[in-house]
Amino acid sequence: MKEATKRFIEQLLKDYPLLDTEIKKRRAELLYPTKKEDENIGGGRSNLPNNPIEKIVLTLDQDMRLNALERQRKIIENVLSKLSAVEYQVIEARYFKKFGDSWEKISMATNYSRRNCFYVRDKVLKEIAEKLGLY
C-alpha cells in the first residue's frame, strides 16, 4: 500500500469519532441554506421540482460530500465490527484517543507484541482501502 494512501486512511480513522457530528452539520447546511438574493428578477422558471419535500430529498441524495461522509462511516463501522475485542482496543487506543497512544503503551495494555499491533493496524488499513477502492 502506498504511504499516501496509508496516511489518508489513518486520518479517516482519527476523524471517525467526529463523523456523526460532521454528517449532522452537513445535513443542517443542506436543509437550512442561507438565502441568496435573487439576481434574476423577472427571469425564467427553474427546472427544479416545485414540491419542497422533493427538493429536500434531491438535495440530500445528490450531495457528494454528505454521501462520501456516510460511505466512510459505513465502511469503517463494517470493518471495526469484524475485529475481536483486543484488535478493536488496539485501533481505539491508536486512533480514537485525543493524542493516540504510542505503540509501546498499546502493546503493554493489550498484551500484544508491537509486531502484532502493527499487523492489526495493517489489516484494518488494507480492508478499509479495499472497500474505498484505493487499494
Return the pLDDT at 74. 97
In a domain, 39, yes or no: no
In a domain, 56, yes or no: yes
In a domain, 59, yes or no: yes
**Average pLDDT across the chain, whole number:** 88
In a domain, 40, yes or no: no
Average pLDDT over residues 67-83: 96
The boundaries of the domain holding residue 26 are 3-34+50-132
pLDDT tens per residue, range 11-56: 999 999 999 999 999 989 888 877 766 666 666 666 655 676 777 7
Q: Sign (positive/negative) of CA torsion 29, 32, 36, 38?
A: positive
Q: Where are the beta strands (DSSP E) in the chain?
A: none
> d(Cα 133, Cα 127) in Å, to the nearest integer?
10
In a domain, 83, yes or no: yes
Structural domains in the chain (count): 1
Return the pLDDT at 48. 57
Distances (CA, A) of 65 to 48, 68, 85, 92, 115: 21, 5, 32, 25, 36
Cβ count near 26 (within 10 Å): 18
H-helix segments, 16-93: 19-31, 52-62, 64-81, 85-91
In a domain, 115, yes or no: yes
In a domain, 126, yes or no: yes
CB neighbour list of residue 103: distance below 8 Å, 6 or more residues apart? 94, 114, 117, 118
> d(Cα 107, Cα 124) in Å, to the nearest integer?
17
In a domain, 19, yes or no: yes
